[in-house]
Structure 1
Amino acid sequence: MWDVLSDVSSWQDWWPGLSYSRRDGDHAQLVVRSPLGYRLRFTLALLASDPPEDARFGVAGDLRGIGHFTGVPDGDGTRVQIVWCVVTRRRLVGLLRPVARWAHGAVMRAGEKGLRTAIAHRG
């Protein structure tokens, strides 16, 4: 799983909501397409990592804040926990907050499904 998640440049291959992903050292540039039609552009900056179990990153751009990924062995697989503490700098997204939450959930569910498929194919 870690090999799939650490290959940021290929995220848009398996994550339908992501229209652009590029890694440059400890930074990744991402563009997310919302089901509501807007795009969010932001950068992830790796702050710390302990492969294959932990990564912490800062977020800047249309979103700003911090994120934390933890992979925990669970039976024959791994349970992934993502903590995402961000706010938007986009006024439109702020105005659409109730619907934007739904859009975020839709993008994340699509990402989870794509991640499961990507891991199964590398398996």
Structure 2
Amino acid sequence: GKEKVLTQVKAKEITSGIEISGYEIHHGVSKYRHMGKYGHLFEITERNGKRTRYFDGLRREDNRVLGTYIHGLFDSDTFRRGFLNKIRQKKGWRMLPENSFFNPDKEFDKLAKLLRENINMGWLYKILMTDA
């Protein structure tokens, strides 16, 4: 079979220069026969702590189709905000401000509070503690 690749990488998005990090995960290697309306999405600059230079992913010229081997790229606030702002701009929506950051702990705390306020927690705990 094909060798599984699981590698920590750092990369730059080609169109914006935004730096991201994540994990390159795949079996085998994609072959590009004809790029046509597509261009590369990322330039990989580091692999397992060593400098390198190769390209990953594809982006259709209208940005409506993206593909990459890199997992975890949406963990980057800057990349995620830029990605969402491109969509928001096309839809005529207000752009997300530069200082908008996602705090998972804060969001999970909000969800937990919402659940506590709207669910009978005693009843839920009773169900969870009952042998099935």
Per the TM superposition, whether the score is higher than 0.5 is: no
For the aligned pair, the TM-score class normalised by the smaller chain equals: under 0.3
How high is the TM-score relative to the length of structure 1?
A: 0.27
How high is the TM-score relative to the length of structure 2?
A: 0.26
Whose strand proportion is higher, 1 or 2? 1
Structure with larger RCO (C-alpha < 8 A, sep 6+): 1
Q: Which has the larger radius of gyration?
A: 2
